[in-house]
Chains A and B, each alone.
Chain A
């Protein structure tokens, strides 16, 4: 009944420690996203909302909030309010930095203290998938098993409906969802200083590592702060997805993940052909 030690960050390891040799034709960053600014790609940040008019985030094309009624039912409605705690603004800002010309949307599912409830998360995520956004950034998760199946179903629906969910791994080695599913792109942090470095993890469940340590991010009140967490590695990859999709709009989620894999800094292509 012993569980294996859980680790989902690149703590104590460097990029050189995880070289990966991939079969297939080389996919270069130049081919994948160079020259693309994410123009026209619709990215939705499911989080705590995004502050209006933050200089580092720019225009938000649509803001929504999940409202919980007295009787426990939930619905999604447009909102004029901003961010409840700063976290969503930080994520939106990173997406904007990576993919400056993408369309940015926000659905608020978190409250003031960086936390929320499972039913609200399910409603917000389900709504975002139904809107057929191209990319959904999810820098959060739930540890409750009771939401696991519903989240898996939504993730599968997104996958087949051509919506890419980019989900953050938990910072602490505990089980949580939906980043554990293969239908989403999961992201943890590496500790390198290079702000443009991302890596493929040869030892999943976390599939990619991106910069998440001491990252400068936009925060409430037009300010910026330096902060740490897988939360901030995730929108880097979500932004990258937007750039790739703007340049290659016909990619399916599984092709997109494959492109990210092959273009990762630690992956070298081997074109030996059939053996």
Chain B
């Protein structure tokens, strides 16, 4: 740091410049930002103090109260807690402020128990001296609180519901009782001995609160209690082999197992010791100095020794120092020598030192000496990676055994063994989510599983995991902690420049901030990221300046650790920074939406909050439109739903988002929801958007022969033309083309489709492009273009538009399949259909359930399998009804009747032809030709000659009104079959010949052969 006056360098902690004498003050002018942290509250109050005040002299009472406060404060501070305040006779203490410990909840319980014990000691004195005794009741609760970490400030350290509940628990406790909340119990785990204190009705809480009565704490903070060692041991075979190797080695035998908290270091050693049965002793290092620097070693030696005796002199030395109080008395060298002598008496003993990252320098030295000494002892240390960050030279002391996370398969096996008894059904969803979040860390998996198993919110953070990761993050220097929490706002992956930009856009990167440029004006984010990388909290991604969080849970904990107001501000700034870097609407909308939601949750009514809402909705609506244009329906649905929820009805963002959301709903089969939304849009929107909504509604209810849809299309076309709305134009042309197709005017349809295609391409509208292309395919099939040229054109369109478009490949492959079937390339046809079906499934296209079976049926019919065709059409009919796509029903039904006729089942055909007959109003010529042809054949089979003949004539007449050789030929063939059924083979032969002529003109081999077969039959009958 430099002097604000003379710029001379200041010594650390200087309050005045030694050069010019100016105050060095300037430093942190801004208050530390509020944080959200997982804390544990302890409330302790005297029972019956009013009665006491009546019995004691005020001076005596004051002395007694002060003794009590002093005693309680001492017990709280001994466990690392902070006394926040005294309220009357009550003490309020918090664990987790100013320093977060991973075992804060446990510390709080230990302190509570100690407070009770200490009071018993005081009572002995008081009873003797004053004839009175004090009783306390204690409440303990753990949870997220808003905290100020500045213990010197006059503000309250913590606030939040967690504080009130702790106070209420204390009030509910009986004299001498300690009541604790469920999250405290979860955080401490089985080490806490408790009994159910029943659901309590706490003032201010609407639901009953499950409280527990603390009876005691089990043993030490043995990880076997918190981390379940009774679950099956999974994987780690190579590590066990390496441990075997270390055990057999001849040289110095020291091995350090390294890995993050919860990866299973202790469990691995535990399992290896169990398998080898080696004589061993284990001790744990502690984060805070309660005892001698070699306490962990002493613990291990004591355990190894048990009741065994050893060389007298060595034991005498050890009992005067190491084994007495864990100190290296008289000297480290003497202690190690005596220990070597003692250990030589054992057959290959193993000493285990857990949590070695907390080892003192003396302990590290003792271990190195022991391992290199004459005794054949194997020292196994288990440490988190910070051991090597703090003392890199430890890597040279002995081999390291880094413990990686479990593989997904191993994690799945571990998860399978977590429940004591479980049913053998597969629950893929839940299990997969847990595995994904745990990322191979067994402890995290266990804790997440426990949370799900107990019915707590499975998306939340287990208190143990939050405490472990929270403590790790809290231990970082301020710049690193700030960088991490800023990065958590950007996302699981982030760019260095984004992070720098975000820091500079706010107080963090400005003078006085944690990430302000250094004295020379150089960037501090880069070195901070380097340090975070070394700590393995983040890792460089794809080289260069991109990074990602090593663990999603670290990101979550870091994110949860900032106050919502801070989060809101940072998301808003992130949107600004990312916008200048060309981020997508989806990203910007996401940040703005979160900024808005946090502000709304905090009850902010500022105009800026309202502005955030509008901006978020606009970006999300734009992003949804892009996703829809890219035919990504699932993504579009998410984005548009979010936009519609944020926007108010009638706002521009609402209108555009709601209109597109309606389209998504329609495309994914939620027809009614889509229709309802469209009606709301049509009412509220301006002319162009209303035109879109009207056209979409008209398509849903297109009237006979699509006439209504075509009429609406004609009406709105000029509106779209005037507005230069390519999407609208594409759609209107498409509807008009479909109308022409239905009338059998494929030439006219093709012209309109070319227009539709051009506009769709210009609008970047994928579904319209796909629909236009699919329709071109149908006109190529039914229209005048001969089959070879049609196949070629179809393939050319596929090559031009298909490679990157799955929807296009669906809509073009279907008619292409039929075209291939026309020239009897059955294998080719089935390949096309299979590709379309697979793609339809990938995209979740509801419509595919209707049109795919129809095309399959067409190919089956052409291949001479009318039975199979009938089955497919049955499926199509069911899908139509389920999706409410009733407009397609008549065509599907006609196809089905024809399939039954071809299959020689006139009764079934009759059932489907129903009451339709000549004169059905508004039936377009193509449909009419089809219907009358089938009816003619049916009537002929029934022997109603006159009717049959008339119908067959009408079918020919209707077909003649189209430009489709396929329809002409079909009508001719129907006429031939009718004649044959009426016993007029000569006439049948003539019409079969006519059909052959038209089939030849189209290049329709399948039809040609069928007509030829019929001609042969007629000859035989003549």
- Which A residues form the contact surface with B (CB < 8 A)? 1-3, 47-48, 70, 85, 87, 90, 109-110, 112-118, 120-121, 139-144, 146, 168-176, 227-232, 234
Asked if B425 contacts A114 (CB within 8 A), the reply is yes
Q: Does B803 contact A (CB under 8 A)?
A: no
Shortest Cβ distance from B191 into chain A, in angstroms?
18
A141: contacting residue among B413, B415, B421, CB under 8 A? B421
Shortest Cβ distance from A218 into chain B, in angstroms?
13
Asked if B420 contacts A110 (CB within 8 A), the reply is no
- For A170, the chain B residues whose CB sits under 8 A away are 416, 424
Smallest CB gap from A121: residue in B: B421
Smallest CB gap from A217: residue in B: B425
In the bound complex, CA of A174 to CA of B422 (Å): 12
A116: contacting residue among B234, B412, B421, CB under 8 A? B421
Contact bitstring B396-435, A, C-beta under 8 A = 1, else 0: 0000000000000000110111011111111100000000
- For B452, the chain A residues whose CB sits under 8 A away are 113
| Interface pairs A-B: 6 shortest CB-CB | A172-B416, A229-B425, A115-B419, A143-B417, A231-B424, A114-B423
Shortest Cβ distance from B268 into chain A, in angstroms?
13
Asked if B421 contacts A115 (CB within 8 A), the reply is yes
- For A120, the chain B residues whose CB sits under 8 A away are 421
Q: Which of B886-929 contact A (CB under 8 A)?
A: none
Smallest CB gap from A48: residue in B: B423
Smallest CB gap from A88: residue in B: B423
With contacts A70-B196, A115-B453 taken as known, whether A229 is within 8 angstroms of B424 at the C-beta atoms is yes
Smallest CB gap from A228: residue in B: B426
Asked if B420 contacts A143 (CB within 8 A), the reply is yes
In the bound complex, CA of A257 to CA of B412 (Å): 32
Asked if A143 contacts B423 (CB within 8 A), the reply is no
Q: Does B230 contact A (CB under 8 A)?
A: yes
- For B231, the chain A residues whose CB sits under 8 A away are 143-144
In the bound complex, CA of A143 to CA of B367 (Å): 38
Of A90, A109, A170, most B-chain CB atoms within 10 Å: A170
Asked if A228 contacts B420 (CB within 8 A), the reply is no
With contacts A70-B196, A174-B416 taken as known, whether A113 is within 8 angstroms of B455 at the C-beta atoms is yes
- Which B residues form the contact surface with A (CB < 8 A)? 196, 230-232, 234, 237, 240-241, 244, 275, 412-413, 415-417, 419-427, 452-453, 455
* Known contacts A171-B426, A229-B423, then 8 further A-B pairs from the complex at CB < 8 Å, ordered by chain A residue: A1-B241, A115-B421, A115-B423, A116-B420, A118-B421, A140-B422, A141-B421, A172-B412
Asked if B455 contacts A115 (CB within 8 A), the reply is no
Smallest CB gap from A122: residue in B: B421
- For B423, the chain A residues whose CB sits under 8 A away are 47-48, 85, 87, 110, 114-115, 139-140, 229, 231
Asked if B421 contacts A227 (CB within 8 A), the reply is no
- For A144, the chain B residues whose CB sits under 8 A away are 230-231, 420
B413: contacting residue among A2, A85, A173, A232, CB under 8 A? A173
- For A231, the chain B residues whose CB sits under 8 A away are 423-425
With contacts A115-B419, A146-B230, A174-B416 taken as known, whether A169 is within 8 angstroms of B455 at the C-beta atoms is no
Shortest Cβ distance from A84 into chain B, in angstroms?
11
With contacts A113-B452, A144-B420 taken as known, whether A175 is within 8 angstroms of B232 at the C-beta atoms is yes
In the bound complex, CA of A121 to CA of B241 (Å): 36
A169: contacting residue among B196, B424, B425, B426, CB under 8 A? B424
Shortest Cβ distance from A163 into chain B, in angstroms?
20
Shortest Cβ distance from A210 into chain B, in angstroms?
13
Shortest Cβ distance from A219 into chain B, in angstroms?
11
Asked if A142 contacts B421 (CB within 8 A), the reply is yes
Shortest Cβ distance from B406 into chain A, in angstroms?
13
Shortest Cβ distance from A177 into chain B, in angstroms?
10
With contacts A112-B455, A174-B232, A174-B413 taken as known, whether A1 is within 8 angstroms of B421 at the C-beta atoms is no
Q: List 27 A-B contacts (CB under 8 A).
A: A113-B452, A113-B455, A114-B423, A115-B423, A115-B453, A117-B420, A120-B421, A139-B423, A140-B424, A142-B420, A143-B416, A143-B420, A168-B424, A169-B424, A171-B416, A171-B424, A171-B425, A172-B413, A173-B413, A174-B234, A174-B416, A227-B426, A228-B425, A228-B426, A229-B423, A230-B424, A231-B423
In the bound complex, CA of A133 to CA of B427 (Å): 30
Shortest Cβ distance from A101 into chain B, in angstroms?
26
In the bound complex, CA of A139 to CA of B455 (Å): 22
- For A47, the chain B residues whose CB sits under 8 A away are 423
Asked if A115 contacts B422 (CB within 8 A), the reply is yes
In the bound complex, CA of A234 to CA of B424 (Å): 10
Smallest CB gap from A232: residue in B: B425
A1: contacting residue among B237, B416, B422, B427, CB under 8 A? B237
Shortest Cβ distance from B996 into chain A, in angstroms?
45
Of B424, B453, B455, most A-chain CB atoms within 10 Å: B424
Shortest Cβ distance from A238 into chain B, in angstroms?
13
- For A175, the chain B residues whose CB sits under 8 A away are 232
Smallest CB gap from B195: residue in A: A70
In the bound complex, CA of A48 to CA of B419 (Å): 15
Shortest Cβ distance from B412 into chain A, in angstroms?
6
In the bound complex, CA of A142 to CA of B422 (Å): 7
B421: contacting residue among A2, A109, A112, A172, CB under 8 A? A109
In the bound complex, CA of A169 to CA of B420 (Å): 15
In the bound complex, CA of A94 to CA of B230 (Å): 34
In the bound complex, CA of A1 to CA of B422 (Å): 28
A139: contacting residue among B230, B237, B417, B424, CB under 8 A? B424
In the bound complex, CA of A137 to CA of B423 (Å): 12
In the bound complex, CA of A3 to CA of B271 (Å): 15
With contacts A1-B237, A174-B413 taken as known, whether A115 is within 8 angstroms of B424 at the C-beta atoms is no
Shortest Cβ distance from B833 into chain A, in angstroms?
23
Smallest CB gap from A169: residue in B: B424
Smallest CB gap from A111: residue in B: B453
- For B244, the chain A residues whose CB sits under 8 A away are 1
- For B237, the chain A residues whose CB sits under 8 A away are 1-3
In the bound complex, CA of A175 to CA of B422 (Å): 13
In the bound complex, CA of A2 to CA of B241 (Å): 10
In the bound complex, CA of A263 to CA of B95 (Å): 67
Shortest Cβ distance from A149 into chain B, in angstroms?
15
- For A48, the chain B residues whose CB sits under 8 A away are 423
A118: contacting residue among B240, B413, B420, CB under 8 A? B420
In the bound complex, CA of A272 to CA of B230 (Å): 51
Shortest Cβ distance from A59 into chain B, in angstroms?
23
Shortest Cβ distance from A135 into chain B, in angstroms?
18
- For A230, the chain B residues whose CB sits under 8 A away are 424
In the bound complex, CA of A123 to CA of B783 (Å): 77
